């Protein structure tokens, strides 16, 4: 006799009863781009419905996010001035630091994660201090540690280093502990590939490198083994979360990482993944809600505990309006 697996799919109540992959809004982190200046709310051309905000225009957006039940934010900063050493990244009065203070003062219920990197702040667009045409790994560590301390001093709840320098988790952990921030978690971009899916983000954050690429420090997607070394290294150095970025092209990696680590696994559903869905939806080629939720469940099914996604606000709206059920 053949097996009748369809028995457990016969109606919606039964399907709800036996499903074992769930999603709730508490598992999402919503990225926000904050730009130095005033009276700025500028839509990002390659990311429909995503904006750059100056601090003075953030209030309306934050109120909406709060009312939608979104609790966690990931902040990216766009400074007015960039230089060779990305000095605005660790300026205690820099754009991210000021944005953190503003949110903590006016919307203290949000959990704030800050991106710790230098690419948005350097004149050359690379993620560290240059030595000729290459990034000097060990010198960069000192700068990353300064950035992290500066963010936490301003009130950040979690720091998320995205630079992919070797040893940066240890350097940041030691700097945070030395400054008394022993309870501040580090969300490590442990498995970050040199991906073409980041294109719209570079448009959003003005962070494209002025020469070359980032393949000497971001990971090669043709290698199926080195991500395990990255996870082990970051765990041993003191990471509190392990991130995989991008998400959808690397569901196999998320799966293995989730099975081999005891730390929470974060998947970053990146700008290119978002923009492709938006473009197809705007052209009427796909049902946006169904595609987005299928993608989110795929990420969760692969093993991600937390999802960073630009779709978060839309998902929250759909839930609030009764258009989807999580």
Q: HEC states along the chain?
A: CCCCHHHHHCCHHHHHHHCCCCCCHHHEEEEEEEECCCCCEEECCCCCCCEEECHHHHHHHHHHHHHHCCCEEEEEEECCCCECCCHHHCCCCCHHHHHHHHHHHHCCCCEEEEEECCCCCECCCCCCCEECCEECHHHHHHHHHHHHHHHHHHCCCEEEECCCCCCHHHHHHHHHHHCCCCCCCEEEEEEEECCHHHHHHHHHHCCCCCCCCCCCCCECCCCCCHHHHHHHHHHHHCCCEEEEECCHHHHHHHHHHHHHCCCCEEEEECHHHHHHHHHHHHCCCCCHHHHHHHHHHHHHHHCCCEEEECCHHHHHHHHHCCCCCC
The encoded tokens of residue 256 equal 């293995």
Tell me the pLDDT tens digit for each residue of 100-113.
999 999 999 999 99
- When the pLDDT of each residue in the chain is averaged and rounded to a whole number, the result is 94
Q: What pLDDT, on a 0 to 100 scale, did the predictor assign at position 127? A: 84
Count Cβ atoms below 10 Å from residue 79 Cβ, excluding itself: 21
pLDDT score for 213: 66
Chain segment 274-318, per-residue pLDDT in tens: 999 999 999 999 999 999 999 999 999 999 999 999 999 999 999
Overall average pLDDT of the 40-62 stretch? 96
Q: How many CB atoms lie within 10 A of CB 59?
A: 14
In this predicted structure, the answer to whether residue 148 has a pLDDT above a threshold of 70 is yes
Does pLDDT of 98 surpass 60?
yes
Closest by CA position to 73, among listed 42, 32, 123: 32
More confident residue, 172 or 129: 172
In this predicted structure, the answer to whether residue 255 has a pLDDT above a threshold of 70 is yes
Residue 161 has pLDDT above 90, yes or no: yes
Residue 202 banded pLDDT, cuts 50, 70, 90 = confident
* C-beta separation of 176 from 152 below 8 A: yes
Question: Which residue from 193, 192, 200, 203 is spatially nearest to 277, judged by alpha carbons?
Answer: 200
Higher pLDDT, residue 129 or 238 = 238
Selection from 294, 266, 258 nearest residue 192 by Cα: 266
Residue 70 has pLDDT above 80, yes or no: yes
Q: What is each CA distance from 156 to 39, 170, 248, in whole angstroms?
A: 24, 19, 28
Catalytic center residues: 192, 245
Looking at domain 21-320, its CATH superfamily turns out to be Aldolase class I (3.20.20.70)
pLDDT in tens, 168-185: 999 999 999 999 999 999
pLDDT at res. 1:
86
Structural domain boundaries in the chain: 21-320
């Amino acid at each position: 006799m053949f097996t009748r697996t369809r028995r457990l799919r016969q109606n919606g109540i039964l399907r709800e009863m036996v499903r074992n992959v769930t999603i709730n809004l508490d598992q999402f982190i919503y990225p926000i781009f904050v730009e130095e200046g005033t009276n700025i709310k500028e839509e990002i051309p390659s990311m429909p419905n995503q904006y750059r905000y100056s601090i003075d225009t953030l209030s309306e957006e934050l109120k909406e996010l709060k009312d939608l039940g979104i609790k966690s934010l990931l902040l990216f900063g766009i400074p007015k001035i960039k230089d060779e050493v990305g000095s605005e990244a660790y300026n205690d009065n820099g754009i991210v630091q000021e944005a953190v203070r503003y949110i903590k003062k006016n919307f203290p219920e949000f959990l704030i994660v800050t991106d710790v990197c230098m690419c948005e702040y350097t004149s050359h667009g690379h993620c560290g201090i240059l030595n000729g045409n290459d990034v000097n790994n060990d010198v960069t560590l000192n700068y990353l540690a300064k950035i992290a301390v500066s963010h936490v001093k301003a009130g950040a709840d979690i720091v998320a280093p995205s630079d992919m320098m070797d040893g940066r988790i240890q350097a940041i952990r030691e700097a945070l502990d030395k400054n008394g921030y022993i309870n501040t978690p580090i969300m490590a971009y442990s498995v970050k590939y040199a991906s073409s899916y980041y294109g719209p983000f570079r448009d959003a954050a003005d962070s494209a490198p002025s020469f070359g690429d980032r393949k000497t420090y971001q990971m090669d997607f043709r290698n199926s083994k080195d991500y395990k070394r990255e996870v082990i290294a970051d765990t041993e150095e003191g990471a509190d979360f392990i991130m995989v970025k991008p998400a959808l092209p690397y569901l196999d990696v998320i799966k293995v990482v989730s099975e081999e680590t005891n730390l929470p696994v974060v998947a970053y559903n990146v700008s290119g993944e978002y923009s492709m869905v938006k473009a197809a939806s705007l052209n009427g080629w796909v049902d946006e809600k169904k595609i987005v939720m299928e993608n989110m469940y795929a990420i969760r099914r692969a093993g991600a505990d937390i999802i960073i996604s630009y779709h978060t606000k839309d998902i929250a709206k759909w839930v609030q309006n009764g258009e989807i059920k999580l």
